[in-house]
Amino acid sequence: MKQAPEHLVNLIEPVVEGLGYECVGIDYHPHPRHGLLRIYIDKENGILVDDCSKVSHQVSGVLDVEDPIPGNYQLEISSPGEDRPFFKVSQFERFIGSTVLVNLFKPIENRKKIKGSIEGVAGDIITLKEGDQVFEVPFSAMSKARLVPENHFIKKSI
| Domains of the chain, residue spans | 6-78, 89-147
- Evaluate whether 95 touches 133 at the Cβ level (below 8 Å): no
What is the per-residue pLDDT across 36-82, written as a single tens digit (0 to 9) for each?
Answer: 999 999 999 999 999 999 999 999 999 999 999 988 899 999 999 99
Q: What is the pTM of this model?
A: 0.88
The answer on pLDDT for 2 being more than 90 is: no
Taking Cα atoms as reference points, which of 76, 149, 78, 89 lies closest to residue 121? 89
- How many Å from the N-terminal Cα to the C-terminal Cα in the chain? 47
Q: Write the CATH number of the domain with boundaries 6-78.
A: 3.30.300.70
- Interhelix angle for 49-66 vs 6-18, to 10°? 130
Q: Does domain 89-147 have CATH number 2.30.30.100?
A: yes
List % helix, strand, coil for the chain (3-state, nearest 5): 25, 40, 35
What is the per-residue pLDDT across 102-130, written as a single tens digit (0 to 9) for each?
Answer: 999 999 999 999 999 999 999 999 999 99
**What stretches of 67-138 show up as alpha helix (H) in DSSP?**
89-94
Question: Left, alpha or beta for 46 (phi > 0: left; psi -120 to 50: alpha)?
Answer: left
